[in-house]
Amino acid sequence: MVDKLYQLTAHELHDLISKKEVSCRDVTESVLDRIRSVDDRVKCYVTVTDELALAQADNVDKQIAAGEPLLPLAGIPFALKDNMCTRGVLTTCSSKILHNFKPVYDATVVERIVNNGGVIIGKTNLDEFAMGSSTENSAFFTTRNPWDIDRVPGGSSGGSTAAVAADEAVIALGSDTGGSIRQPAAFCGVVGFKPTYGRVSRYGLIAFASSLDQIGPITKDVTDCALAMNLIAGKDFCDSTSLDVPVPDYTKSLIPDAKGIKIGVPTDFFGQGVEPEIVNSVMKAVEVLKDLGAEYKETSMKMVDYGLPTYYIIAPAEASSNLARYDGVRFGLRSDDSKDPITMFLKTREEGFGPEVKQRIMIGTYALSAGYYDAYYLKAQKVRTLIRQDFERLFEEFDVLVAPTSPTVAFKVGERAADPFQMKLADVLTIPANMAGIPAISIPCGYADGLPIGLQIIGKSLDEATILRVAYAFEQATDYHKRKPEI
């Protein structure tokens, strides 16, 4: 048997499983052992579903033994951000308010993974309700960056991302509302993909900002990202915002060159306090793509500056509405020593939500209140249209845009926790794609003082295939994705 199965990618494991060199149980056990040996330091998981995972793995092994065709994700261990519903398994959103919440149904993505042979290995830590950029807003604990245990993994999908980087999962799913897949992927040196809004069903994803939320894969390489996309993308009648358009086989777009690709480099993405090493790495990456046959040109996108302020009206507004459902009545925490229902609602929300979530509910409620709606929410929606149009203008000329994912590398735990503005600046380069609803990926493109740097590739609406092609070409020509942190 091959040792260190947990270090392999999904496509490498698929080969071994198809040749019957290893069983699905071997793979699952290897990843569970890895979790046991490092998760006390990295702290990715809120819940490890070991029994469920082994039962699922055995089930797939039985299908293989019975000669059934090998499913695309047969025996691949998946981690899920803990804002995705799993039937009968604790789902916390890393919040006290969902105390003991066990959903009665699986999110569509979970169903699709399991139906394709995948194994659910556990639920990962996040900033409470996905609000944050470091996992420090989790009500439970802070996840650590596998490259430096004193640093944050980014957020809000920090648990899922650190799990892939630390080989505690083969593939993970995260959600990206303003950057929560890409920014942690950049901090942890892995691949993180936010598909077009509506490409992947949100059914069973606990809502933060419904017009922005999108589920996507976090993987060790671009091939695994394409494999995961093949299975999670597509129309779902349970989510009316999911798009009814054909899903291509993304693995077909993995060509190791970038011939004929027109790349735009919007200089405005480089002026947002981006560290010089990051500018260097990203520009070097652009040169690599040029050597692979792409053409590139510097361009400008002035609306980048408006992404962050607009986001911090729209996202809290939607959050304040979505989070109104946590009132102690139907699920989760209930403050039990209240004399009347109103006091019960108030005390439950007071005790159950952390400070960041409360702040956003207040901002959102304010922005939506009579008299302010036009000045804030409506105005922000108009600016959002302008951001989308600015992207559309660029995509008349370019196939993809290339930029840094984050202005900085991973920061120290505690360094920004006391300064909410600095924390929010972590997403200044990822938010624009969410505002426009367009797809974007982060892949590793360098290291500064041993800490990973992320390259962001932004594409046209529904053109995930071109992004994956460019990302794959870059990956094949470099070896940044092969480095592993020492934990």
**What is the binding site for ligand GLN (CB under 6 A)?**
130-133, 156, 176-180, 208, 315, 427
Is 156 a known active-site residue? Answer: yes
Closest distance of CB 177 from ligand GLN, Å: 4
Contact 220, 228 (CB under 8 A): no
Closer to ligand GLN at the Cβ: 63 or 211?
211
Of the listed 157, 175, 180, 442, which one is catalytic?
180
Q: Distance between CA 346 and CA 82 in Å, rounded?
A: 25
Closest distance of CB 24 from ligand GLN, Å: 32
Q: Distance between CA 220 and CA 189 in Å, rounded?
A: 9
Closer to ligand GLN at the Cβ: 200 or 265?
200
Peptide bond into 156 cis (omega under 30): yes
Closer to ligand GLN at the Cβ: 326 or 472?
326
Closer to ligand GLN at the Cβ: 75 or 217?
217
Which DSSP string corresponds to 228-282? HHHHHBS--TT-TTS--SPPP-GGGG--S--TT-EEEEEGGGGSSS--HHHHHHH
Closest distance of CB 82 from ligand GLN, Å: 13
Of the listed 133, 138, 156, 406, which one is catalytic?
156
Contact 409, 450 (CB under 8 A): no
Q: State both tokens at 12.
A: 């490498």
DSSP secondary structure code for residue 42 in this structure: H
Q: Distance between CA 411 and CA 230 in Å, rounded?
A: 34
Closest CA to 362 of 374, 349, 351, 371: 349
Of the listed 23, 30, 43, 81, which one is catalytic?
81
Closer to ligand GLN at the Cβ: 63 or 241?
241
Long-range contacts of 419-424 (CB under 8 A, 24+ apart): 420/356, 420/359, 423/132, 423/133, 423/134, 424/133, 424/308, 424/312
Closest distance of CB 209 from ligand GLN, Å: 8
Closest distance of CB 156 from ligand GLN, Å: 4
Which DSSP string corresponds to 91-103? --TT-GGGTT---
Closer to ligand GLN at the Cβ: 106 or 176?
176
Beta-carbon contacts of 372 under 8 Å, excluding residues fewer than 6 positions away, are 366
Closest distance of CB 253 from ligand GLN, Å: 25
Closer to ligand GLN at the Cβ: 335 or 381?
381
Closer to ligand GLN at the Cβ: 34 or 81?
81
Q: Distance between CA 21 and CA 28 in Å, rounded?
A: 14
Q: Distance between CA 291 and CA 259 in Å, rounded?
A: 9
Which DSSP string corresponds to 125-175? --SGGG--SSSTT-SS----BTTBTTB---SSSHHHHHHHHTTS-SEEEEE
Strand pairing report for 400-404 and 262-266? parallel
Contact 226, 233 (CB under 8 A): no
Q: Distance between CA 187 and CA 151 in Å, rounded?
A: 9
> What type of residue is 72?
P
First vs last C-alpha separation in the chain:
24
Closest distance of CB 166 from ligand GLN, Å: 21
Is 157 a known active-site residue? Answer: no
Closest distance of CB 175 from ligand GLN, Å: 6
Residues recognised as catalytic:
81, 156, 180
